[in-house]
Amino acid sequence: MFDYLIVGAGFAGSVLAERLARGAGKRVLLVDRRPHIGGNAYDRHDSAGVLIHQYGPHIFHTNSREVFEYLSQFTEWRPYEHRVRASVDGQLVPIPINLDTINQLYGLKLNSMEVEKFFESVAEPRENVRTSEDVVVSRVGRELYEKFFRGYTRKQWGLDPSQLDSMVTARVPVRTNRDDRYFSDTYQAMPLHGYTRMFENMLDHENIKILLNCDYREIVEEVDYDKLVYTGPVDEFFDFRYGPLPYRSLDFKFETVNQEWVQPVAVVNYPNEHLYTRVTEFKHLTGQEHKKSTLVYEYPMAEGDPYYPVPRPENQELYKKYQALAESTQDVHFVGRLATYKYYNMDQVVAQALSVYARIVGQKRAEASRTTLAVPTAAAVAAVTTTVTATVATAARKERRRAVGGTRKLAKGA
Q: Which residues bind ligand FAD (CB under 6 A)?
A: 7-13, 31-34, 39-41, 55-59, 215-216, 231-232, 250, 307, 336-338, 344-347, 349
The b/e string for 175-188 (b: 16+ C-beta within 10 A; e otherwise) is bbeeebbbbebebb
Chain residue at closest Cβ approach to ligand FAD: 39
Strand order across the beta sheet in which 187-191 lies = 60-62, 187-191, 77-79
326 vs 346 by CB, closer to ligand UDP: 346
| Residue 152 interaction partner, one of ligand FAD, ligand UDP, none, beta carbon < 5-8 Å per kind | ligand UDP
55 binds, among ligand FAD, ligand UDP, none (CB under 5 to 8 A by kind): ligand FAD
**Burial class of residue 277 in the structure, from the number of CB atoms within 10 Å of its CB (0-12 exposed, 13-18 middle, 19+ buried):** buried
In whole angstroms, the minimum distance from the beta carbon of 408 to ligand FAD comes to: 18
To ligand UDP, the closest distance from the beta carbon of 148 in angstroms equals: 5
Of residues 156 and 286, the one with the C-beta less far from ligand UDP: 156
SS3 letters across 194-211: CHHHHHHHHHCCCCEEEE
Which residue number, 172 or 219, has a Cβ lying nearer to ligand UDP?
172
191 binds, among ligand UDP, ligand FAD, none (CB under 5 to 8 A by kind): none
Looking at this protein, which amino acid is placed at residue 254? F
The least distance separating ligand UDP from the CB of residue 159, rounded to whole angstroms, comes to 9
Question: By three-state DSSP, how is residue 332 classified?
Answer: strand
Q: Minimum distance between the CB of residue 40 and ligand UDP, rounded to whole angstroms? A: 11
| Helix, strand or coil, per DSSP, at residue 134 | helix
CA atoms of 331 and 3, how far apart (whole Å): 11
Tell me how far, at minimum, the Cβ of 105 lies from ligand FAD, in Å: 26
Residue 286 half-sphere exposure toward CB, CA atoms < 13 A = 23
For residue 27, the 8-state DSSP code is: -
- Which one of ligand UDP, ligand FAD, none is in contact with 334 (Cβ closer than 5 to 8 A by kind)? none
| 271 binding partner (options ligand UDP, ligand FAD, none; Cβ < 5 to 8 Å by kind) | ligand UDP
Query: What burial letters (b/e) apply to 41-61, b meaning 16+ CB within 10 Å?
Result: bbbbbbeeebbbbbbebbbbb
Q: How many CB atoms lie within 10 A of CB 263?
A: 16
Cβ-based nearer residue to ligand UDP, 29 or 250:
250
Nearer to ligand FAD, 38 or 94 (CB): 38
- Nearer to ligand UDP by Cβ, of 11 and 152: the residue is 152
SS3 350: helix
How wide is the angle at C-alpha 84 spanned by C-alphas 80 and 87, nearest 5°?
160
Is 199:16 a contact under the CB 8 Å cutoff? no
**Distance of closest approach, residue 65 Cβ to ligand FAD, in angstroms:** 16
349, 11 contact by CB (below 8 A): yes
Site residues for ligand UDP per CB under 6 A: 86, 95, 148-149, 152-153, 156, 168-169, 171-172, 269, 271
Q: Closest distance between ligand UDP and the C-beta of residue 12, in Å?
A: 17
Nearer to ligand FAD by Cβ, of 118 and 216: the residue is 216
Q: Which is nearer to ligand FAD, 118 or 276 (CB)?
A: 276
Q: Residue 101 binds which entry of ligand FAD, ligand UDP, none, with Cβ cut-offs from 5 to 8 Å by kind?
A: none
How many helical (H) and strand (E) elements, i.e. helices and strands, does the chain have?
17, 17
Which residue number, 152 or 216, has a Cβ lying nearer to ligand UDP? 152
Residue 349 near which of ligand UDP, ligand FAD, none (CB within 5-8 Å, type-dependent): ligand FAD
CB 234 → ligand FAD: shortest distance, Å? 10
Other CB atoms closer than 10 Å to residue 408's CB: what's the count? 8
